[in-house]
Amino acid sequence: MTTIGRVTHFTVRNSTLNNVQANLQKMADLQAQMSSGKKINAASDDPSGTADVLRLQGEQRQLAQYGRNASDGEAWLTTINDALTTSLSTLRKARDLTVQGGNGALGINSRIALAQEIEGLRDNLLAQANTTYLGRSVFAGTTAGAAFTDGTTPVGAPDPAYTFSGSGVDGTVTRTVASGTNIRVDSSGAAVFGEGADSVFALLDSIAATLRAGGDPSDQLDAIDGHLDAMTTEVASVGARQNQIDAAQDLISQNSLTATTRLSAVQDIDLAQIILDLGAQEVAYKGALAAGAKVLQPTLLDFLR
Amino acid sequence: MSTFSGLGTALSSLIAQRQALEVSGQNIANANTVGYTRQRAAMASLPAATVPSMFSTSNGVGIGTAVTGIDRLGDAFLDARVRNETSGASRLAAVATEYKTLETTIGEPTATGFSKDLSSFWSSWSDVVNDPTSDSARSVLLQRGKAVADRLSTMHQDVGTQWQQALTTTSALVTQVNTTAANVADLNTRILAITNAGGSANELMDQRDLLVTQLSGLVGASARTRDDGTVDVMVAGNALVSGSSANQLAVSSDSPASLGDAMQAGAPAVSIVWARNDNPAGIEGGRVAGLLTTLAPQSEGGVLTSAAAQIDAVAKTLADSVNAVHTTGYTIDGYETGTPGGAFFTYDPANPARSLAVAITDPAGVAVAGAGKGAHDSSVGRELAALAKSTSGADATWAAFVVDLGVQSASASSRATVAEAARSTASAAQLAQTSVDTDEETVNMLAFQRAYEGAARVLTAVDEMLDTLINRTGVVGR
């Protein structure tokens, strides 16, 4: 208030009213901050803070999405890992049977039995190769349908047996787990199982055929070992990628914690400080009211008879 | 020197004190009247009678007192200062209010703001990327896209509504200005008539000054007092009221009628003109000037038009960036036939935000597969999801707009607060001069009462003196 020469009841009343109003306004502001828990309720409260809030909120939502991407990727890799583990043991079993079939003392019936068993294992392997997750073949890459056709060559169809649907398509299934970090979550069926005549299925077919013909399939063992190597390599690669996703998930939870902390630092109130401020403001408000009550009441008339 | 002149002196005092008491009574009666200016009975002592003839005598004592007039204790300079400050404060307050309203429309930064809608939209692209065969993920994406488009359209319409309301308010205020100006002219006439007849028109002057201050708050009017006691009200150098005649203001008929019109290239600004000759009034102060600032076209920094243009820019950026990538992708069916996907968003370039819509209705129409990468590929979808982080994308444009609005709103608020403080100070200074102090009036009442009692006592004393002379003289020994 500037110095005013003349003071009247009117000016006293006005200034009292202004002061009380200003105090009440400050109390209302503090009250709003306390009840909303936020320092920034409109962009104009703190424009640069608003920029941070918008950025950090965007970052939080992005991280949440990365988290979901990572979980989905992990499910894919787990599915592939299971399929590969099963395939490995199946193929090892087939190898054992092939070694068994190399025994010259075996009768033809035993060989046919072995051949049948190997064909059973081939079907198992084919089923593993066509493993799906949420309706998609995990070994088929980005192509639609099953990863491998079965052993029969359909009449009039161009595809020979055990065709890999992903051949000629360079798309891979990846999940974005951080800005710019895409992790591949599928496996190429061709790399794991081979395709067409070079596939592990065709190999087992030929072993079974050798056994049925009374031959010795031992010379095929090297080929089986080659496929076993390919599968082991892929298991290692899947394991490495699972680790990568685990690490990414750790990073995501750390980053979202950081983002939450920073967001809170920018936009959340310091409760202790606000309560203190509110207390101080209340004292000022009461003071203004009390001063008003003291100044406004008396007039000269009270003292005149 | 008449024998009875003492009685006359006492009588003049009785009359004068009673009149002065009445003025105090009027002051106290109006202690709470807004715009009332306190008054004083100006008393002057009457000089001794001059000697009318050679043999008449005079003792040189004055012959009492008289009320020469009733003063109005205002201060024209304080009034002018109040009007000046009111003009500026009203203008800035109007701008700050519009900014506040706009901020409410924009609704950032809250958990439900538009940036949340945008994030959700980008997230749904990621979900489609994770499972391109899922129709549900695609449907969610389309709905989120629609939500984003609707939100932009709603915000743009809200800004349009605010513009319309500001224009309606301006028209209403101009009408109010015309009515008030006519009232001032009318009061001028009556004041002139009363003062010409020798009366006191103080109360009418109070009313008139209050109206002039209102005009300052509306159109930044200033007053110029004439010698005869009437005032001329000037707006930007031209007379709104000149003596007993008032001029009319009007909203120019060239003014755009809607936000859409105001945003056309080369659209004229909403302006106020003199009704009689359509010349621009050039209003620089008051609430009307503040509203005109917010209504101005974008080229002149209009608050609302700029905001609407920013929302349009966000819509355009969003649609263009999404479409540019989406048209390079393939749908699952389109992959087989080699037909790339179409545009995701459509909009009318003349009016992007309001016309923004999702062009795709069938969830299968979302194209996320890259060329030659397999029907279930989603590399294009990944590019789309990554637009969330683009530094020139919709999110960045939006954030920049929100922050810019925040800065401008904060600065408008603080300027309005400062101007209001200055107005309040000027007003306090004016009130200190003009307002009635009941204590002071009480003291005056006491003084007048005592003086009245004294004059009555003088009357009694003279009366007793004369009684002695008339009834007791010459009765010795009776």
DSSP letters spanning B148-208: HHHHHHHHHHHHHHHHHHHHHHHHHHHHHHHHHHHHHHHHHHHHHHHHHTT---HHHHHHH
pLDDT per position as a tens digit, B395-413: 999 999 999 999 999 999 9
Q: What number of C-beta contacts closer than 8 Å exist between A and B?
A: 184
What lies within 8 Å, CB to CB, of B286 at 6+ separation is B86, B87, B90, B91, B215, B216, B217, B218, B219, B220, B221
CA-based torsion, B380, A82, A124, A189: positive or negative: positive
* Residues B466 and B3: beta-carbon distance below 8 Å: yes
Candidates B42, B46, B62, B43; CA nearest to B1 is B62
pLDDT per position as a tens digit, A17-51: 888 998 999 999 898 888 888 888 888 888 889 98
**Rounded Cα–Cα distance for residues B108 and A44 (Å):** 10
Stated as kind and residue range, the H or E segment containing B461 is: helix B438-467
Residue pointed to by tokens 């040189």? B60
Which residues of chain A make contact with B382, given a CB cutoff of 8 A?
Answer: 174, 176, 182
Whether A9 and B438 lie within 8 Å, measured CB to CB: yes
Closest CB from B123, B126, B428 relative to A15: B428
Q: Does B372 touch chain A (CB under 8 A)?
A: yes
Please give the angle made by the CA atoms of A230, A236 and A238, to the nearest 5 degrees. Answer: 100
B19 to A300, B22, B196: CA distances (angstroms): 22, 5, 21
Q: Which among A1, A8, A48, A76 is the top mutation candidate for probing chain B, defined by the most B β-carbons within 10 Å of its own β-carbon?
A: A8
| pTM given for the model | 0.84
Whether B431 and A10 lie within 8 Å, measured CB to CB: yes
Taking the CA of residue B183 and the nearest CA in chain A, the distance in Å comes to 27
pLDDT per position as a tens digit, A245-270: 999 999 999 999 999 999 999 888 88
Which residues of chain B make contact with A37, given a CB cutoff of 8 A?
Answer: none
Closest CB from A11, A44, A55 relative to B435: A11
pLDDT of residue B315: 95
pLDDT of residue B190: 95
Taking the CA of residue B316 and the nearest CA in chain A, the distance in Å comes to 20
Residue pointed to by tokens 């990554």? B386
Average pLDDT over residues B42-68: 81
Chain A, residues 169-198, CB within 8 A of chain B, namely 169-171, 173-176, 179, 182
CA-based torsion, B397, B399, B400, B405: positive or negative: positive
Q: Which residue of A has its CA nearest to B427?
A: A11
Candidates B198, B203, B204; CA nearest to B29 is B203
Closest CB from B377, B399, B440 relative to A51: B399
Burial of B51 (0-12, 13-18, 19+ CB in 10 A): exposed
Q: Does B374 touch chain A (CB under 8 A)?
A: yes
**Rounded Cα–Cα distance for residues B424 and B419 (Å):** 8
What integer best gives the mean pLDDT of chain A? 88
B399 to A157, A201, B171, B311: CA distances (angstroms): 57, 57, 34, 11
Percent of chain B topping pLDDT 90 = 71
Candidates B314, B318, B320, B369; CA nearest to B340 is B369
Which residues of chain A make contact with B394, given a CB cutoff of 8 A?
Answer: none
Burial of A135 (0-12, 13-18, 19+ CB in 10 A): exposed
Under DSSP, is residue B345 helix (H, G, I), strand (E, B) or coil?
Answer: strand
Please give the angle made by the CA atoms of B105, B110 and B113, to the nearest 5 degrees. Answer: 55
A132 to A146, A165, A186: CA distances (angstroms): 8, 14, 11
Q: Does B439 touch chain A (CB under 8 A)?
A: yes
pLDDT of residue A1: 42
Q: Is the ipTM of this complex over 0.90?
A: no
Q: Does A81 touch chain B (CB under 8 A)?
A: no
Q: Answer whether residue A185 shows pLDDT above 50.
A: yes
B90 to B84, B101, B286, B414: CA distances (angstroms): 10, 16, 5, 13
Q: Does A15 touch chain B (CB under 8 A)?
A: yes
Closest CB from B399, B403, B436 relative to A8: B436
Whether A57 and B409 lie within 8 Å, measured CB to CB: no
**Rounded Cα–Cα distance for residues B221 and B91 (Å):** 12
Instruction: Pick B52 or B455 by higher pLDDT.
Output: B455
pLDDT of residue B56: 67
Q: Which residue of A has its CA nearest to B414?
A: A44
Candidates A139, A97, A165; CA nearest to A231 is A139
Burial of B14 (0-12, 13-18, 19+ CB in 10 A): buried
Q: Answer whether residue A75 shows pLDDT above 50.
A: yes
**Long-range Cβ pairs for the range A62-67 (8 Å, 24+):** A62/A179, A62/B119, A62/B122, A62/B388, A62/B389, A63/A252, A63/A255, A63/A256, A63/A259, A64/A256, A64/B123, A65/B122, A65/B123, A65/B126, A65/B385, A66/A176, A66/A177, A66/A178, A66/A248, A66/A252, A67/A249, A67/A252, A67/A253, A67/A256
pLDDT of residue A39: 86
Q: Which residue of B has its CA nearest to A14?
A: B428
**Rounded Cα–Cα distance for residues B276 and B178 (Å):** 13
Q: Which among B123, B332, B437, B449 is the top mutation candidate for probing chain A, defined by the most A β-carbons within 10 Å of its own β-carbon?
A: B437
Whether A299 and B386 lie within 8 Å, measured CB to CB: no
pLDDT of residue A116: 92
pLDDT per position as a tens digit, B270-319: 999 999 999 999 999 999 999 999 999 988 889 999 999 999 999 999 99
Whether A43 and B402 lie within 8 Å, measured CB to CB: yes
Q: What string of DSSP letters covers chain A?
A: ----S---HHHHHHHHHHHHHHHHHHHHHHHHHHHH-BS-SSGGG-HHHHHHHHHHHHHHHHHHHHHHHHHHHHHHHHHHHHHHHHHHHHHHHHHHHHHHHT-TT--HHHHHHHHHHHHHHHHHHHHHHT-EETTEETTSTTSSS-SB--SS--TT-S--TT-BTTTT-----EEEEETTEEEE----HHHHH--GGGSHHHHHHHHHHHHHTT--GGGGHHHHHHHHHHHHHHHHHHHHHHHHHHHHHHHHHHHHHHHHHHHHHHHB--HHHHHHHHHHHHHHHHHHHHHHHHHHS--GGGG--
Taking the CA of residue B450 and the nearest CA in chain A, the distance in Å comes to 14
Q: Which residue of B has its CA nearest to A267?
A: B109
Percent of chain A topping pLDDT 70 = 95
pLDDT of residue A2: 47
Which residues of chain B make contact with A45, given a CB cutoff of 8 A?
Answer: 406, 410
CB atoms near residue B473 (< 10 Å)? 8
Average pLDDT over residues B211-232: 93
Chain B, residues 10-39, CB within 8 A of chain A, namely 31-32
Q: Which residue of A has its CA nearest to B437?
A: A8
Burial of B198 (0-12, 13-18, 19+ CB in 10 A): exposed
Instruction: Pick B407 or A179 by higher pLDDT.
Output: B407
Percent of chain B topping pLDDT 70 = 98
What integer best gives the mean pLDDT of chain B? 91
CB atoms near residue B81 (< 10 Å)? 18
Which residues of chain A make contact with B133, given a CB cutoff of 8 A?
Answer: 134-136, 144
Tokens of B241: 């009221």
Average pLDDT over residues B30-34: 90
Q: Which among B403, B415, B436 is the top mutation candidate for probing chain A, defined by the most A β-carbons within 10 Å of its own β-carbon?
A: B403
Q: Answer whether residue B81 shows pLDDT above 90.
A: yes
Whether A2 and B425 lie within 8 Å, measured CB to CB: yes
Return the minimum-mean-pLDDT range out of A59-73, B275-289, B369-383, B414-428.
Answer: B369-383
Q: Which residue of A has its CA nearest to B390?
A: A179
Stated as kind and residue range, the H or E segment containing B68 is: strand B65-72
